[in-house]
Amino acid sequence: MSTTFSYQQLFSFSKNIFIKIGCSEADADTAARSLLSADLRGVDSHGVARLSGYIRLWEVERVNAKPAIRIVHESPSTAVVDGDRGLGLVVAPFAMQVAINKAKQAGTGWVSVKNSNHFGIAGHHAMMALENDMIGMAMTNASALVAPTFSKERMLGTNPIAVAIPAGDQPSFVADFATTTAANGKLEILQRKNQPMPLGWALNKEGESSTDPSAIKNGGLLLPLGGDKEHGSHKGYALGAIADIFSGILSGANYGPWVPPFPAYLPMPADMPGEGIGHFFGAMRIDAFRTSAEFKDHMDKWISRFRSAQTIPGQEKVLIPGDPEREMEAERIQNGILLLSPVVDDLKGLATKFNIEFPC
């Protein structure tokens, strides 16, 4: 049981919900756009399926619908932004715009954010740089679910890193990935299908290798990109740590095992050393290095050459980062977004709660 909705239907509904909790028209628009970008790009776990989760954070007063988001420290190419407990979906575009504005003046802009909440998908924010002929970067920390190499303790979030690079005739290069071997969403799919999980994705709560896709639900741990030491998991651990430090420690947010959880019913960590969750954004103006025309010509050459690389048996083509998400977006703009029935029920519940139509 699932139902297809148009982008516009889900966008309008989400925007209306954000207005109902007290967001300004502009903020509700920004938040809905951030949220829905996940559905469009095929990251279903981070889109409208999470709308009710954000609303529950507002209900327990962990999200401020009318934040005074502001710069609290800056230099010509840097800033720290205080998100004032706003929706990360709104705080992140604000901070990325600060990075872009800094880059216009200083060549690059780098913004660390504290006192925020979950920001949706990193790639959406990084891609704001593209239309400005800039390279964009976005990363965030998140509540702990990942074991550092040799550990069986949840110490890091899935801490994604996104990098968006403009090209000329070719579509942009957009990498956006969790610093773990696999995303939690993939485990949930295997649970539903009752299939085993590949080794190298997760440990059970005793810290042993597991093929049970319920491992995380039962107190286990996701593994850093690489999986085990022999396959370079210390590198994935380092990447997740870098995202954590840039997002949490440069800004004054929480970090490591102290990052607050997304589910509103979970208790907050004890003795939190910072404010909210943290993000980090970067923008680099292409022509602060060389002319945009030259750069894009070479990006086109890079992309064409990689796309035409010889493939291994059974594979049709080599992909460029961002290809699958861009194709999904075109398809879903055209044909709509399929939501599973629990998600539809969730949205109907919100409609009832706030006394609005769904779809609207």
**Residue numbers 87-126 binding its own copies by CB under 8 A:** 105-108, 110, 112
**Least distance from its own copies to the Cβ atom of residue 131, Å:** 19
Q: In angstroms, give the least distance from the CB of 286 to its own copies.
A: 8
Of 183-202, which residues contact its own copies (CB under 8 A)? Answer: 198, 200-201
DSSP letters, 205-271, are: TTS-B---TTTTTTT-EEPBTTSSGGGTHHHHHHHHHHHHIIIIITTT---GGGSPPSSTTSPPPTT
Tokens of 166: 């403009």
Residue 199 CB, nearest approach to its own copies (Å) = 9
Q: Shortest gap between Cβ of 3 and its own copies (angstroms)?
A: 31
Residue 201 tokens, joined: 């994705």
Looking at 14-77, which runs of residues are DSSP E strands? 70-75
In the bound state with its own copies, the residue whose beta carbon lies nearer, of 168 and 336, is: 168
Cβ atoms of 185 and 166 closer than 8 Å: no
Find the binding residues for its own copies in span 225-264 (CB under 8 A).
Answer: 225-227, 230-232, 234-239, 241-242, 244-245, 249-252, 255-257
CB proximity list for 240: less than 8 A, separation 6 or greater: 146, 156, 157, 158, 159, 179, 180, 224
Structural tokens at position 274: 């910072």
Does 66 help bind its own copies (rule: CB under 8 A)?
no
* Distance, first Cα to last Cα, the chain: 21
Q: Report, in Å, the least distance between residue 189 CB and its own copies.
A: 13
Closest CB to its own copies among residues 120, 252: 252
Site string for its own copies, 19-58 (x = CB under 8 A): ----------------------------------------
- List the one residue from 163, 277, 337, 347 that touches its own copies (CB under 8 A): 163
Which residue number, 92 or 165, has a Cβ lying nearer to its own copies?
A: 165
- C-beta of 217 vs 290, nearer to its own copies: 290
User: Is residue 351 a contact residue for its own copies (CB under 8 A)?
Assistant: no
CB 154 within 8 A of CB 145: yes
Distance CA 67, CA 236 (A): 34
Q: Which of 266, 268, 319, 330 binds its own copies (CB under 8 A)?
A: 319
**With CB under 8 A as the contact rule, which of the stretches 43-51, 54-62, 125-133, 287-295 interacts with its own copies?**
287-295
Which range binds its own copies by CB under 8 A, 11-19, 126-134, 174-182, 333-341?
174-182
> Based on C-alpha coordinates, what's the Rg of the chain?
20
Q: CA-CA distances (angstroms) from residue 254 to 154, 178, 190, 275? A: 15, 19, 32, 6
152 binds its own copies (CB under 8 A): yes
